[in-house]
């Protein structure tokens, strides 16, 4: 294991991710940001300088558990103070588990401004992956809007709310084309793209015939749920969120914001053609052209268009199909098993609400507000009045009808946090429900910081006590992100064994902005060595000035 050192600067650049020039939040002038590549057990030392002109920044290492370094989790108001313009912060953390991860901004909606990149952890020296491949490619998927995140954030928190709408394009490794198709000559009715910038040229994967490739795929989308398919080639799923899964083969796969996968693809098709990789929208009525990339077999020129049209994305509202894909994800044999019982169970109802005419998302009727002083500091140093210390609700009314709009749509807002007994086993039932409008219930991918959890099961309608007997304790997959389907529930179990304060939230950026998240804390008294730079703001900042550091 070694220490890998990085020096990064975050700042806006002009770029044309989908052939239209916009401001993009970049790292060292690159969009997406540089890929971090390390080996399991390595330590990352990453000096992040903020060169934005007028706002703070933080970066979250999505899927890295931050054992012993909760202050490096990169969540503004939770694990650290935002880094001010012209200031630097040293992220220091261990990447302890091989897998496909990514990183992204976690302050306001900076992820949607383009602040993301890949983080890939290889097995440590002498270890082997439990599957074989000859080469690999990395595909970081995202969606892209032409309105600035400032416009988006103000709209979402206006009264009445201005919704951001569907993205203008989907990007593969930061490249896409807006409102046109690379496959226009093969797809009747679509208009041809004019590639006006190098930034929007399609991604080409150069392969050799009869080899097996590992495709690492992660989704950093702001809103879109995606489906990925490769013309003529099937895919064998082997990894999800940095955990091995029991291999299964599919023709297309869903991927929700915050998820990552590895699939194996064998290049066993005829070599006289190139093939499309197609990425389209699921779960919302799409208004965005699919993103396309090219698998290039020699001796074809990379620019030669595949012979057939790109694989069609399954119908956006074919939820049965999405469920059947998701339900197939199970732990690989030999993976860690969950404890047989939980010490505590909480149920979290997801609803869309109103608060004085503002539209919010709420959990058990509490919409998340973030405090000025990061929890990690205020909890660790027992500061009074830094956040609402009332215990948040651990369930919701037993007569709540999840199939209908709420009778009372009002919600409150709070900074309160769930505090768990250190090392206890927690079950969380995520319960979906009808939104404000009749007959609307959306997909929400929930992401937990600081832990992986076992996904014990899913169901339709309201979770009932008897559903506990259907929990999969035999081979539940370990994940850090899991989806709740419309009107359904998802059950997960984790061990609260990581001292710190951790966000648990819907990974859809506008939903989180509208309060769709909660804060978990455990063992905070055991947290050691919080660098003062992480807490030099708010009430912990004052504490430091008064030199009261215990
Ligand atoms: Cu990738 Cu809290 O998020
Ligand atoms: Cu959501």
Residue positions counted in the chain? 550
Residues 399, 269 within the same domain = no
Quick one: tokens of 137?
């490619």
Structural domain including 485 reads 344-545
Residue 171 belongs to domain with CATH number: 2.60.40.420
> What pLDDT score does 549 carry?
60
The answer to whether residue 332 is domain-embedded is: no
Instruction: Compute φ and ψ for 51, nearest 5 degrees.
Output: -110, 20
> What pLDDT score does 250 carry?
98
The answer to whether residue 405 is domain-embedded is: yes
Model pLDDT for residues 487-546, shown as the tens digit of each residue: 999 999 999 999 999 999 999 999 999 999 999 999 999 999 999 999 999 999 999 998
Which whole number is the average pLDDT over 376-393?
A: 97
Residues 63, 186 within the same domain = no
- Cα separations in angstroms, 15 against 123, 138, 338, 509: 35, 21, 46, 22
* Residue 390 C-alpha from the chain's centroid: 29
Closest CA to 255 of 147, 388, 139, 345: 139
203, 208, 214, 218 alpha-carbon torsion, rounded to 10°: 10
Peptide bond into 2 cis (omega under 30): no
* Residue 30 C-alpha from the chain's centroid: 21
Q: Could you say which of 122, 155, 170 is where a domain stops?
A: 122
State how many domains the chain has. Answer: 3
Has this prediction a pTM greater than 0.95? yes
> What pLDDT score does 189 carry?
87
What is the pLDDT confidence band of residue 548, given thresholds at 50, 70 and 90?
low
Residues 507, 424 within the same domain = yes
- Structural contact between residues 240 and 259, judged by C-beta atoms closer than 8 angstroms: yes
Q: Which residues pair with 240 in a beta bridge?
A: 243, 261
Q: Which residues surround ligand 2, an ion (CB under 5 A)?
A: 444, 506, 508, 511
Closest CA to 172 of 203, 207, 137, 201: 203
The answer to whether residue 474 is domain-embedded is: yes
C-alpha 215/C-alpha 230 separation (Å) is 11
Using CA positions, which residue lies closest to atom 2 of ligand 1? 503
Atom of ligand 1 nearest to the CA of 505: 2
Residues 268, 371 within the same domain = no
Residues 113, 139 within the same domain = no
Instruction: Answer yes or no: is pLDDT of 550 > 70.
Output: no
Residues 31, 170 within the same domain = no
Q: Find the ligand nearest to 363 CA.
A: 2
Q: Could you say which of 327, 359, 382 is where a domain stops?
A: 327
| Residues contacting residue 108 through CB under 8 Å, at least 6 positions apart | 55, 76, 149, 153, 513
The answer to whether residue 334 is domain-embedded is: no
Alpha helices in 463-514 (DSSP H): 509-513
C-alpha 93/C-alpha 67 separation (Å) is 8
Residues 416, 303 within the same domain = no
Question: Among residues of the chain, what percentage have pLDDT more than 70?
Answer: 99
Residues 101, 67 within the same domain = yes
Q: Find the ligand nearest to 75 CA.
A: 1
Which whole number is the average pLDDT over 224-248?
A: 98
Closest CA to 109 of 152, 173, 157: 152
- State in Å: Cα 447 to ligand 1 middle: 6
Residues 50, 148 within the same domain = no
> What pLDDT score does 547 carry?
76
Model pLDDT for residues 169-211, shown as the tens digit of each residue: 999 999 999 999 999 999 888 899 999 999 999 999 999 999 9
**Unique residue bearing structure tokens 């007959």:** 439
| Residues contacting residue 533 through CB under 8 Å, at least 6 positions apart | 81, 89, 90
| Strand spans (E) along 340-480 | 344-355, 358-363, 366-368, 412-414, 418-420, 425-431, 444-448, 453-460, 478-479
Query: Three-state DSSP class for 11?
Result: strand
Instruction: Answer yes or no: is pLDDT of 247 > 60.
Output: yes
- Cα separations in angstroms, 527 against 24, 75, 128, 293, 501: 36, 16, 33, 45, 10
C-alpha 304/C-alpha 273 separation (Å) is 8
The answer to whether residue 129 is domain-embedded is: no
Other beta carbons within 10 angstroms of residue 283's beta carbon come to: 24
Atom of ligand 1 nearest to the CA of 257: 1
Parallel, antiparallel or unpaired: strands 36-39 and 116-122: parallel
Model pLDDT for residues 449-502, shown as the tens digit of each residue: 999 999 999 999 999 999 999 999 999 999 999 999 999 999 999 999 999 999
ipTM > 0.95, yes or no: yes
The answer to whether residue 550 is domain-embedded is: no
Q: Could you say which of 327, 353, 380 is where a domain stops?
A: 327
C-alpha 336/C-alpha 291 separation (Å) is 36
Which amino acids bring their CB within 6 angstroms of ligand 1?
Answer: 60, 62, 104, 106, 258, 447, 449, 503, 505, 507
Residues 452, 350 within the same domain = yes
Residues 372, 481 within the same domain = yes
Model pLDDT for residues 339-371, shown as the tens digit of each residue: 999 999 999 999 999 999 999 999 999 999 999
- State in Å: Cα 77 to ligand 1 middle: 13
Residues 160, 306 within the same domain = yes
Closest CA to 326 of 278, 297, 283: 283
DSSP single-letter state for residue 339: P
The answer to whether residue 374 is domain-embedded is: yes
Model pLDDT for residues 276-328, shown as the tens digit of each residue: 999 999 999 999 999 999 999 999 999 999 999 999 999 999 999 999 999 99
Using CA positions, which residue lies closest to atom 1 of ligand 1? 62
Q: Which residues pair with 239 in a beta bridge?
A: 244, 262
Q: Find the ligand nearest to 504 CA.
A: 1
The answer to whether residue 282 is domain-embedded is: yes
| Strand spans (E) along 267-339 | 275-282, 291-296
Atom of ligand 1 nearest to the CA of 104: 1
Quick one: tokens of 83?
């880094």
> What pLDDT score does 403 carry?
98
């Amino acid at each position: 294991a070694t220490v890998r050192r990085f020096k990064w600067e975050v700042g806006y650049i002009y770029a044309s991710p989908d052939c239209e020039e916009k401001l993009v939040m970049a790292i060292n002038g690159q969009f997406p940001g540089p890929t971090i590549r390390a080996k399991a057990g390595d330590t990352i030392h990453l000096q992040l300088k903020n060169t934005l002109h007028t706002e703070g920044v933080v970066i979250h290492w999505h899927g890295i558990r931050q054992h012993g370094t909760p202050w490096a989790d990169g969540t503004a108001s939770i694990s650290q103070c935002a880094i001010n313009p012209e200031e630097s912060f040293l992220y220091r953390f261990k990447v302890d588990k091989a897998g496909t991860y990514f990183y992204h901004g976690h302050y306001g909606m900076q992820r949607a401004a383009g602040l993301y990149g890949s983080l890939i952890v290889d097995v440590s020296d002498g270890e082997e992956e439990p599957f074989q491949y000859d080469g690999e490619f990395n595909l970081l998927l995202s969606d892209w809007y032409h309105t600035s995140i400032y416009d988006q954030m103000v709209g979402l928190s206006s009264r009445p709310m201005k919704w951001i709408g569907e993205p203008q394009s989907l990007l593969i490794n930061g490249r896409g084309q807006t409102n046109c198709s690379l496959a226009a000559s093969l797809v009747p009715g679509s208009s041809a793209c004019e590639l006006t910038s190098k930034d929007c040229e399609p991604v080409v994967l150069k392969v050799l015939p009869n080899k097996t490739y590992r495709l690492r795929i992660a989704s950093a989308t702001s809103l879109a749920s995606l489906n990925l398919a490769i013309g003529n080639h099937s895919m064998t799923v082997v990894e999800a969120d940095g955990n091995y899964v029991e291999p299964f083969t599919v023709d297309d796969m869903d991927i929700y914001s915050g998820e990552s996968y590895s699939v194996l693809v064998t290049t066993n098709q005829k070599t006289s053609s190139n093939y499309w990789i197609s990425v389209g929208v699921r779960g919302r009525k799409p208004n965005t052209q699919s993103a396309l990339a090219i698998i290039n077999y020699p001796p074809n020129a990379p620019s030669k268009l595949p012979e057939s049209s790109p694989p069609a994305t399954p119908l956006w509202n074919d939820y049965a199909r999405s469920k059947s894909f998701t339900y197939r994800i199970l732990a690989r044999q030999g993976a860690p098993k969950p404890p047989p019982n939980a010490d505590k169970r909480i149920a979290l109802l997801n609803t869309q609400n109103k608060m004085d005419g503002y539209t919010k998302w709420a959990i058990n009727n509490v919409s998340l507000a973030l405090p000025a002083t990061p929890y990690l500091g205020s909890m660790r140093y027992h500061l009074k009045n830094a956040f609402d210390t009332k215990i948040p609700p651990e369930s919701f009314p037993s007569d709540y009808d999840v199939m209908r709009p709420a009778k009372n749509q009002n919600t409150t807002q709070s900074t309160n946090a769930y505090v768990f007994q250190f090392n206890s086993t927690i079950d969380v039932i995520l319960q979906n429900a009808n939104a404000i409008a009749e007959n609307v219930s959306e997909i929400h991918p929930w992401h937990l910081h600081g832990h992986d959890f076992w996904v014990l099961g899913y169901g339709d309608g309201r979770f009932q006590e008897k559903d506990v007997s259907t929990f999969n304790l035999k081979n539940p997959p370990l994940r850090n992100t899991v989806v709740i389907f419309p009107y359904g529930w998802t059950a997960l179990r984790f061990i609260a064994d990581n001292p710190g304060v951790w966000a648990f939230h819907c990974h859809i950026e506008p939903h989180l902005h509208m309060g769709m998240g909660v804060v978990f804390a455990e063992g905070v008294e055991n947290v050691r060595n919080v660098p003062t730079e992480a807490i030099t703001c708010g009430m912990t900042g004052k504490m430091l000035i008064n030199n009261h550091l215990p």
